[in-house]
Structure 1
Amino acid sequence: MRYLFQGDSITDWYRGNYDDPHATGCGYPRILEAELTAQDGDCEVLNCGISGNRVVDLLARWKKDCLNLKPDVLTIFIGVNDVWHELGSQNGVAPALFEEVYRILLRETFTALPQTRIILMGTFVTHGTATDPEWETFYNEVKIRRDITRKLAEEFHLDFVDLQQVFDEAQEKRPAEHWTIDGVHPTAAGHWLIAREWKKTAAIS
């Protein structure tokens, strides 16, 4: 069984060598690699997350970093930079284009890898130094991308992980800074939350 995680810095999280998908980094893919390989020594966990990526960046490298790798289970976690890059440098991805490109990614995958299981992760934010200066805009725009991701999951009958709900519930027990460094990037505890929810969705004990 080959698992592939695709996304931005949250998935990347210090994996270092972008030419080596076996470099799983220090975040939730590494946590899952430890658990999955402990249970099944023949399984393979790959990470092709790249810091700063938007959905359009995924499209540019999709054949090389996804289709050619032929995963059995593909997880896509993208969306926050499509908002953040707009707020910071006016280089984000508008909702309509986000949906169009995401749909292309999925259709290309269905065509090339019809047996691959796909899990979509809904992006999230908490209060923090990166999000608070424009909190309402940041939160609302992220919600739009998350809702698009959910809609695509429903349309194509894919698994969906609502991480905003997960982090909202976690903040009822501990403050935002326990779960994220800056409102976007998870702490170690935040990465554990993501891994836990992925396991629930993937139905892996």
Structure 2
Amino acid sequence: MKKILLSLSLLILLTSMQIQKTNKIIFFGDSITQAGVNPGGYISMMQDKIKQGVAPKYELIGSGIGGNKIYDLYLRLQEDVLDKKPDVVVIYIGVNDIWHKQGSQTGTDPDKFIAFYSAIIKKLQASNIKVIVCTPAVIGERTDFSNAMDGDLNLYSQMIRNLANTYGCGLIDIRKAFLDYNMVNNPQNKESGILTSDRVHLNQAGNQMLAELMFKGLSK
């Protein structure tokens, strides 16, 4: 009888430990993610909500490096992600792959973007890691589609949506959310200052919106 009670107690304890297990989530990206861990950044905002007990208890890790493109993520995937054994990886990349085409001509062509992105997803899924992909938000906030990179942003965002569908990944459509917000809140067609500080990097409102989008995406 004692052995039965001991076994039942152990089973309850193990079950409780599994329920209370904290999901380790890595945000994998560029300078937007790098800034996300700073005070006022979207990852810091999420951590504040977790500490306050008003959001699910996640362990959040920011792994963003300024200037990174999709192939940079592929090259540091093992050390910065796989070795840390996360439960979930949120991939937020694409702005520099597009933006750097115009400035330094070091952007990423669509076929290479898809190839590297697919390889990353496959490696993560092979390690039983849940993958959530994000579309790039904006490079300029004008609402009349006169931003120079709008065409490529729409193209690469659709490629990411397609990858999510192909590989069964979660999707956080940041581009759509930012465009919808600007259509309502940017009547003066400003280039920045609504959700970004400099056309790309997020201001307080942008970080708050992204934190909410991330929580929503993680809950699906």
Identify the TM-score tier after normalising by the shorter chain. Answer: 0.7 to 0.9
Match of 1:62 among 77, 84, 104: 77
User: d(CA) in 1 for partners of 2:50 and 2:120?
Assistant: 26
| Per-residue deviation, 1:171 | 1.4
C-alpha displacement of 1:38:
3.8
Pairing of 1:90-101 with structure 2 (within 5 A)? 90-101=105-116
* 1:151 lines up with 2:162 in the alignment: yes
Structure 1 186/42 Cα, relative in aligned 2: closer, same or farther at 3 Å? closer
Task: State the alpha-carbon separation in 1 of the partners of residues 160 and 62 from structure 2.
Answer: 20
Aligned position for 1:122 = 135
How much has 1:123 moved relative to structure 2?
0.5
Aligned to 1:160: 171
Identity between Structure 1 and Structure 2 (%): 28
Distance in 1, Cα, partners of 2:115 & 2:62: 24
3-state secondary structure, aligned to 1:192: helix
**SS of residue matched to 1:171:** helix
Change (3 A) 1:108 1:156: same
Gap change, CA 1:41 and 1:109, over 3 Å in 2: closer
TM-score, normalised to structure 2, is: 0.79
Paired residue secondary structure (1:90) = coil
Q: Secondary structure in 1 aligned to 2:193?
A: helix
Q: Does 1:188 align with 2:201?
A: no
Structure 1: tracts of 5 or more residues without a match:
16-23
Q: 1:3 aligns with which of 25, 33, 58?
A: 25
Whether the 8 Å contact between 1:37 and 1:43 is mirrored in structure 2 is no
Partner of residue 102, structure 1: 117
Aligned length: 189
Between the aligned partners of 1:120 and 1:67, the Cα distance in structure 2 is 16
Corresponding residue of 1:198 = 214
C-alpha RMSD over aligned residues: 2.3
Give yes or no for contact 1:4–1:47 (8 Å, CA) kept in 2: yes
How big is the shift at 1:152? 0.7
Alpha-carbon shift at residue 126 of structure 1 (Å): 5.1
Q: In the alignment, which residue of structure 2 is the partner of 1:34? A: 48
Unaligned runs of 5+ in 2: 1-22, 187-191
State the partner residue of 1:81. Answer: 96
Q: How far is 1:135 from its partner?
A: 2.3
Q: Give the greater-gyration-radius structure (CA).
A: 2
**What is the Cα deviation at residue 41 of structure 1?**
9.5
